[in-house]
Structure 1
Amino acid sequence: MKKFLPVALLFSFSSIMAQQRLLVDTHNDVFSFQLVTKADLGKLQPVGNFDLIRAAKGGLNAQVFSIWCGEDYGKGKGFAHANREIDSLYALIARYPDKMALVKSPQELKKVHQQGRFAAMIGVEGGHMIEDRMDYLDSLIKRGLVYLTLTWNNSTSWASSARDETTGKGMRQAGLNELGKQIVKTLNKNGVLVDVSHAGEKTFYDVLATSTKPVIASHSNAYALTPHRRNLKDEQLKALAKNGGVVFVNFYSGFLDSSYDHRVQDFLQLHEKELDSLNNIYTKDFAPTMLNVMYKKEADQIRPPLSALVKHIDYMVKLIGVDHVGIGSDFDGSESFPAGMDSVADYPKLETALKNIGYKKEWIDKIFGGNFVRVWEASKK
Structure 2
Amino acid sequence: MTELVPVFDGHNDTLLKLEIAARLGRPLTFAEPNPTLDIDLPSARKGGFVGGFFAMFTPSHLDRFDAAFDPDDPSNFDQIDQPAALNFTLAMFARMRRLARELPEDLAICEHAQDVRSAIGRNRIAVVPHIEGAECIDTDLNALEMLHAAGLRSLGLVWSRSNAFGHGAPMEAQPQLDPGKGLTDAGFDLVRECDRLGILVDLSHLTEAGFWDVASATNKPLIATHSNAHAVSPSARNLTDRQLSAVAESGGVVGLNFHVGFLRADCKQDRNTPIEQMVRHLDHMVGILGEGGVALGSDFDGCLLPCEIGGVAGLTNLVAGMRDAGFGDALIAKICHKNWLAAIDKGVPTPAA
- Secondary structure of the 2:322 match is helix
1:314 matched to which residue of 2? 283
Q: How far apart are 1:75 and its partner, in Å?
A: 2.4
Tell whether 2:224 aligns with 1:235: no
* Secondary structure at the counterpart of residue 111 of structure 2: coil
- How large is the RMSD of aligned CA atoms in angstroms? 2.0
Return the alpha-carbon distance in structure 1 between the equivalents of residues 312 and 199 of structure 2: 25
Q: 2:219 aligns with which of 212, 215, 229?
A: 212
Give percent identity, aligned residues only: 30
3-state SS, counterpart of residue 219 of structure 1? coil
Whether 2:195 is the aligned partner of 1:181: answer no
CA drift at 1:258 = 3.8
**Moved >6 Å (runs of 4+):** none
Q: Which moved more, 1:227-236 or 1:122-131?
A: 122-131
Which residue of structure 2 lines up, in the alignment, with residue 58 of structure 1?
47
* Deviations, residues 25-61 of structure 1 (Å, cap 9, x unaligned): 1100011111232212111102220111100111111
Could you say what secondary structure the match of 2:286 adopts? helix
Please, which runs of 5 or more residues in structure 1 have no aligned partner?
A: 1-16, 168-172, 265-301
Name the counterpart of 1:354: 322
Q: Structure 1 residue 98 and structure 2 residue 87: aligned?
A: no
Distance across 1 between alignment mates of 2:189 and 2:139: 11
User: Given the alignment, which residue of 249, 268, 272 partners 1:303?
Assistant: 272
Distance 1:23 1:160 in 2: 31
> Which residue of structure 2 lines up, in the alignment, with residue 13 of structure 1?
none
Query: How does 1:261-276 map onto structure 2 within 5 Å?
Result: 261=268
Residue 343 (structure 1) aligned with residue 327 (structure 2): no
Give matches, 1:113-152, under 5 Å: 113-152=120-159
Query: What is the one-letter code of the residue matched to 1:53?
Result: P
Structure 1 position 259, deviation (Å): 3.2
Equivalent residue of 1:223, what SS? coil
Instruction: Please tell me whether the aligned partners of residues 25 and 63 of structure 1 are also in contact (alpha carbons under 8 angstroms).
Output: yes
Aligned length: 319
TM-score, normalised by the number of residues in structure 2: 0.86
The alpha-carbon distance between structure 1 residues 340 and 379, as it changes in their structure 2 partners (threshold 3 A), is same
Q: Secondary structure at the match of 2:54?
A: strand
Q: How far apart are residue 227 of structure 1 and its match?
A: 0.7
1:31 to 2:15 alignment: yes
Alignment check: 8 A CA contact 1:306 1:339 kept: no
C-alpha deviation, 1:158, in angstroms: 2.3
Letter in 1 for 2:202: D
Pairing partner for 1:162 from 160, 169, 172: 169
Alignment-derived partner of residue 367 in structure 1: 335
Higher Cα Rg, which structure: 1
Contact 1:26 1:63 in 2 (8 A): yes
Structure 2: gaps (5+ residues): 22-26, 62-79, 175-179
SS in 2 for 1:101: strand
> Match of 1:376?
344
1:21 Cα shift? 5.1
Is the 2:16–2:92 contact (alpha carbons within 8 Å) kept by the matching residues of 1?
yes
